[in-house]
Structure 1
Amino acid sequence: MKYFYPNDALSIDECENVWIDHNELYSKIGAGIGVDTYDGLLDIKNGSRYVTVSWNYLHHHMKCSLIGHTDNTGQQTIDSQMRITYHHNLFSNTDGRNPSIRYGAIHMFNNFFEDITDYGIAARDGAHAKIENSVYHNVLLPMSTDKFPVSGLPNGYICESGNIFSGTSGANVISQTGCDFWDAATLPYSYTLDPVETVGSIVKLVAGIGIITSVGENGELPVEITSFTASSNGKNIELQWHTATETNNAGFEVQKYFNDRWEKIGFVEGAGTSNSEHHYSYNDTNPASLSYVYRLKQIDRNGKFTYSSIVEGVTSLSDQDFVLLQNYPNPFNPSTMIQFVVAKKQSVTLTVYNAIGQKVASLFSNVAEAGKIYSVKFNGQTFPSGMYFSVLENGTKRSVKKILLMK
């Protein structure tokens, strides 16, 4: 959603039980753009409660997200009822209000913030914030309870745990935590925290435009995809998929993940409505890298859409090559996946060493088949935090990657 001037892009006003999921909200920043050029990207106000904001991508905007629109004490009783949850959202290249909250309470977990020129969250006017397992990278002021003091009103409260502050991020300003505010009454739902080391990879891959799979009136899927594969075809990657049935299927947008975002690379027309099996293919003639991940955006004739599962494709290697891919996630705690691929069938070993050169784990020692992506799990549960090295060898050549265990 692009900028709407002078109003908010999305405003939740006096609402209950709202779910804001898989959207992209942005305007622009730069020369000639001031704090008041555009209003908020996502504002929640007038006592709105039980609002969940999940898997959204908010970027390139000055005033990102405001919860509670005024310091006026006449609004205090209404806005103190606000209960908001933000999880798995990506905030990138914004200025302030990520978010800013008055009076109410917000629970935030597994969000990723990057390149923010003013502040992350500001809790004000007695508002409570609980922030867990989120990443703040290059954020000038990640968290503050004291940024906007108001005479006659208490500052806010921030109870934070398990967060990572990296890059050029500054120090938090938290004068009161209020952690005892959070109990079964103020946090009346169950949830599972993703390890903070995985948040960047997960959120950047999945947050943004998308919807839940749509179904027909009788619960049937509009398009039933029975298989979706990616394979090497010389220097290209060929995608193939089959459908068993289709209903009002306009076609498939082929998307590839690169530059930290999903990008459209092609479109394949669908069969409309059909009860017979159909075969589709798409050839990516410009992979430009060894490995990519792909997905399909299936689009109905009425404009609704849904996404397929994700597949990974690897281009062909020369006869002399084998490749050790970077582990995922990295940093990790306690386990991570290490992948490699060889150009021709050969014996290889995959080993992990610590920072002083001691072997700590042998993960693979066998014959590897050509072109197959091998995924091997390394569990660092019994090892201390620190830098380790994954090493792939075939007797004459070795490839080394740094991996970071962070507990």
Structure 2
Amino acid sequence: MRTQVAIIGGGPAGLLLSQILDLKGIRSVILERKSREYVLGRIRAGVLEQGLADMLRAAGVGDRMDREGQIHEGTDIAFAGKRHRIDFAGLTGGETVMVYGQTEVTHDLYDARDALGGSIIDEAKNVEINGIDTHTPSVVYEKDGQIHTLHCDFIAGCDGSHGVCRTSIPADIRREYEKVYPFGWLGVLSETPPVSRELIYNHHPEGFALCSMRSNSLSRYYVQVPREEKIDDWGDERFWEMLKRRLPEEISASLVTGPSIEKSIAPLRSFVSEPLSYGRLFLAGDAGHIVPPTGAKGLNLAASDVHYLSDALISYYRTNDEDLLRRYSETALKRVWKATRFSWWMTTLLHHFPENEGFGDRIQQTELEYLFSSKAAQTVLAENYVGLPYEPS
């Protein structure tokens, strides 16, 4: 089989890249190791930067998002029993975020690819990448017990942190940077009305908590737990009790609880691999970097990569000029590191670090007090949260 761009990974990054390229007449094939049902069943974040929302609209997949998504013009940060609102729109000249689940984004992208006859091969097993340092790369994979070879011009690695693409870059060239946090997020999805119309980030001496939502009838809540915690030890009653204890009294009093329909623990870490390209292989999304969810940057960073990579590929097929492809890693990493810094800062600001008791706690409290008293500090938070502008290609 032959295509122009082989995309490994059928999550939102791979699907969005395929959709954008297709609209420009560039052929691609997506290889996904899991079934479509599995991909669509994954519960992920749901805060979209304005840049990503605009990309989805431009790619013809924004209609349902605009009907069902919720535009948020700010967020609350609770500290010492009080709520403080960060006015995104007022501080950034009208910029906002869209609350719309990643699962729904993936649904919309699958529908769009199907409508255009896009080639998506699900349950492609044992993927191997060959010839990335040549002009004739290929991907070998197994499907239904048969071995297939996909020849292509370029390979886009959108296969996540455990995929084959990142490790296909030679170890003596690849540099990896990582920070592992000593805690995770215990998350619960429940068919209950959200406790607030906007997200509430909560700092508490016992640990961080977040009140989020997926719709007017579907809520997502998180509490900070030690990294070694087991999900089986957390029944619904224990979770709700912990959440209520960490929230300000007026929020806790209005919280509607109910049976969880999904529950999971996500460990937190920051990770960046450099470079994001080697030969004819280009990494995008979690294949190249991971951020803690505190700053809502995971999906948005994947979209940022897709923005730069799609521009570079379109330029190549239009003019046969590889300049943007050569500069893809450097350009994308500038925004990756800025978002990594912001996610680290939000995580450091809002979580409880047992090892920092004493001096560290007082610095954290002072940082929060300064944030709430300074318009300049709030503006920095707001402009990073809604999304820094994409660098010119």
The two structures share one fold, judged by TM-score above 0.5? no
Give the number of the structure whose residues are more often helix, by fraction. Answer: 2
Pick the TM interval, shorter chain.
under 0.3
Higher Cα radius of gyration: 1
TM-score normalized with structure 1 length: 0.21
How high is the TM-score relative to the length of structure 2?
A: 0.21
